[in-house]
C-alpha cells in the first residue's frame, strides 16, 4: 500500500450526527453472515454481481462537480469541504437496483492520474480499477448509514422511494500516480433477493 494512502487513512475528524462511523473491521457493523459476504469480498463487486444475474447494468445518475461530503474530505487528503468530481450510479441486476455507488476525485487530480474517469458513461468503474496494474487499492472500510445520511437520501431520491432502517455500506480509497479516488458502495434492500451463488 502506498505511503500516501496510509497517510490519508490516519486523518480523522469529529463527526456530526449525519456523518457515518466507518470501521476498518466488519465486526464493527454487526452484519448478518449473508451481508458480511457482500461487504468483505475482495473481488470486484461488478464481477460478483454479473455472476449472480442474467443481466447486469450500470445506470449513471450524475457525473459533475459537487461539494464533498463531511465524512469524505479527509479520506482524499482535502483540508476541508470543497468541490470535487463526483459520480453516482445504480448497479442493477435483472433491472433490480442492488447497489448505489458514489465516487469522488479531488479537482487537483490530473487527466494522467485518472484518464478514464470522465469517459466512463455507463461502463463499470470497478472493472476499470481492477484491470489497471497502476491502481493501488487501500483497505475496505464499513459502516451502517442512517436514513438521514446524504448517500441514503440520494439513493432514495434516485429510486423514488423511502428507504427504511440503516443501510450497510463499504468504501475504499484508490491511488493511481498522485491521484486519489474514493468509492463508496451502499447496499440496497434488493441485494437480499438476488442469487447468492454464481451461475453455473
Mean pLDDT of the chain: 87
Q: Render the chain in DSSP notation, one character per residue.
A: --HHHHHHHT------TTS---BSSGGGGT--HHHHHHHH--S-HHHHHHTTSS-EEEEEEEEEEEEPPTTTGGGGT-SSS-EEEEEEEEEEETTEEEEEEEEEEETT--TTTSTTGGG-TTS-HHHHHHT-TTPEE---EEEEE-TTSHHHHHHHHHHTSPPPS-EEEEEEEEEETTEEEEEEEEE-GGGGGS-SS---
Would you kindly state where each structural domain of the chain is located, as residue ranges? 3-7+21-117+132-193
Q: Average pLDDT in the 139-166 region?
A: 95
- Residue 6: the pLDDT is 52
130: pLDDT strictly greater than 90: no
Higher pLDDT, 116 or 57: 57
What tens digit of pLDDT does each residue of 29-88 get?
Answer: 999 999 999 999 988 899 999 999 999 999 999 999 999 999 999 999 999 999 999 999
Q: What is the pTM of this model?
A: 0.88
Over residues 168-181, mean pLDDT: 93
Percent over 70 (pLDDT), the chain: 90
Q: Do 85 and 104 contact (CB within 8 A), yes or no?
A: yes
Q: What is the pLDDT of residue 68?
A: 96
Is residue 70 within 8 Å of residue 104, measured between CB atoms? no
Percent of all residues in the chain with a pLDDT value above 90, rounded to a whole number? 67
For residue 121, the model assigns a pLDDT of 75
**50 Cβ contact list (under 8 Å, min separation 6):** 56
pLDDT tens digits along 88-107 = 999 999 999 999 999 999 99
pLDDT at site 97: 97
Q: Which residue has the higher pLDDT, 83 or 129?
A: 83
- The predicted model gives 194-199 an average pLDDT of 76
Distance (Å) of CA 144 to CA 29, 114, 131, 168, 187:
6, 29, 29, 5, 10
The CATH number for 3-7+21-117+132-193, chosen from 3.40.50.300, 3.40.1410.10, 1.10.510.10, 3.40.630.10, is: 3.40.1410.10
Residues 6+ apart with CB under 8 A from 132: 176
Give the confidence band of 198 by pLDDT, cuts at 50, 70, 90.
confident
With CA atoms as reference, report the closest residue to 186 among 162, 161, 168: 168
Amino acid at each position: 500500500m502506498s505511503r500516501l494512502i496510509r497517510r490519508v487513512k490516519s486523518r480523522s475528524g469529529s463527526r456530526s450526527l449525519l456523518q457515518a462511523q466507518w470501521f476498518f473491521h466488519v465486526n464493527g457493523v454487526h452484519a448478518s453472515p449473508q451481508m458480511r459476504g457482500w461487504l468483505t469480498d475482495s473481488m470486484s463487486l461488478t464481477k460478483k454481481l454479473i455472476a449472480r444475474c442474467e443481466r447486469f447494468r450500470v445506470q449513471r445518475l450524475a457525473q459533475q462537480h459537487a461539494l464533498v461530503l463531511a465524512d469524505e474530505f479527509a479520506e482524499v487528503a482535502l483540508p476541508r469541504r470543497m468541490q470535487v468530481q463526483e459520480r453516482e450510479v445504480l448497479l442493477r441486476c435483472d433491472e433490480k437496483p442492488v447497489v448505489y455507488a458514489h465516487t469522488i476525485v479531488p479537482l487537483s487530480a490530473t487527466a494522467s492520474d485518472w484518464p478514464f474517469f470522465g469517459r466512463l458513461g455507463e461502463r463499470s468503474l470497478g472493472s476499470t480499477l481492477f484491470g489497471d496494474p497502476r491502481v493501488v487499492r487501500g483497505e475496505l472500510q464499513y459502516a451502517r448509514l442512517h436514513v438521514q445520511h446524504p448517500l441514503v437520501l440520494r439513493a432514495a431520491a434516485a429510486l423514488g422511494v423511502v428507504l427504511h432502517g440503516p443501510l450497510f455500506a463499504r468504501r475504499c480509497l484508490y491511488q493511481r500516480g498522485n491521484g486519489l479516488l474514493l468509492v463508496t458502495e451502499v447496499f440496497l434492500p434488493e441485494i437480499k433477493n438476488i442469487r447468492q451463488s454464481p451461475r453455473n
